[in-house]
Structure 1
Amino acid sequence: MKSSGDHALSIGAVAARFGVATHVLRHWESVGLLTPARVHGDRRRYGREDLHRVAVILRAKQAGLGLDAIRQMLAGGNSAQRREVLRRQHAELTRRVAEAQAALRLVECALRCDHEDVARCAHFQAVVAEGGGP
């Protein structure tokens, strides 16, 4: 059981600390991602563990994981399920990185091009073709 005294913060303080709205923290609690301690008046109190979990949730969201995938990843005791969620996310991130690199090559090529109409440049057309364009 969590102790409410280990660096306990209010929902407003946690929201401000992480730059999220309080309703986001409440939603994460409602879907099972957070379980802050409760004190008099049913007020939420977030300890160190909760703060770490909020940070993990935010980083996982930045990595593109949805809340269901984050919940599966954080669920204790099922490492096979966690690995499968992470494998799928790894594949998706790898795909997105490749797309971003192809887009960056296209932009860099266009920046180096001196043609009036970059779409008519043979080199630019070759870069477009490499990236799976028409």
Structure 2
Amino acid sequence: MKSSRHDIRWSIGDLAERFDLETHVLRHWEDKGLLRPERDGAGRRVYGEDDAYRVATILASKASGMSLEQIRTLVDASTEGRRDALKAHLAELDRRQADLERSRHLTAHALECRAHDITTCPGFQAHVADIVDGTRRGLPLLAGHSPGHR
């Protein structure tokens, strides 16, 4: 007979090991309101399968760049502002994705560029000239740079 979700019971050490974490991490997340393990008769933490899914959600959310406060909003059904927090996180992910695309394009250009010093490449210089001359701030997306500018 297969066990049900409610039959699984892990100690803090067992759950931490399952996710390759130190036990103090689970205690910290409990202090922050992210986990609410049951207690046995001796007061020891006892985790079930629902707790394991919560830990997996916390880890996946942290990997995506969410703060513990944002994650608490995500996993706490009673917290207001869940949709706003998720919208803000999506906007941040979009910004990070654009940064990664910009970095990838620059790296690919540098790999193919004949210039030994990328800063001397006329094609690269053309893409950052507006920053250098002060008419723009930040690094614009380098899309549209043709290999002929090497």
Tell me how far apart the structure 1 counterparts of residues 8 and 33 of structure 2 sit (CA, whole Å).
Answer: 22
Letter in 2 for 1:73: L
Match of 1:13?
A: 14
Computing the radius of gyration from Cα coordinates, the structure with the larger value is: 2
Cα root mean square deviation, aligned: 2.1
Aligned residues: 129
Tell me how far apart the structure 2 counterparts of residues 67 and 10 of structure 1 sit (CA, whole Å).
Answer: 23
Indicate the SS of the match to 1:19: coil
Any gaps of 5 or more consecutive residues in structure 1? none
Shift of 1:87: 0.3
Letter in 2 for 1:121: C
| Residues 75-123 of structure 1: CA deviation (Å, up to 9, x unaligned) | 2145x61110000000001001101110111111000011232211112
Match of 1:132?
A: 140
Match of 1:82?
A: 82
Indicate the SS of the match to 2:42: helix
Indicate the SS of the match to 2:45: strand
More helix by share: 1
> Is 1:106–1:128's contact at 8 Å kept on the other side of the alignment?
no
Shift of 1:127: 4.4
Tell me how far apart the structure 2 counterparts of residues 129 and 45 of structure 1 sit (CA, whole Å).
Answer: 60
Tell me how far apart the structure 1 counterparts of residues 129 and 78 of structure 2 sit (CA, whole Å).
Answer: 47
Shift of 1:126: 3.3
- TM-score w.r.t. length of structure 1: 0.87
Shift of 1:37: 1.0
Q: Structure 1 113/52 Cα, relative in aligned 2: closer, same or farther at 3 Å? A: same
Any gaps of 5 or more consecutive residues in structure 2? 131-138, 142-150
1:115 aligns with 2:123: no
Tell me how far apart the structure 1 counterparts of residues 17 and 126 of structure 2 sit (CA, whole Å).
Answer: 49
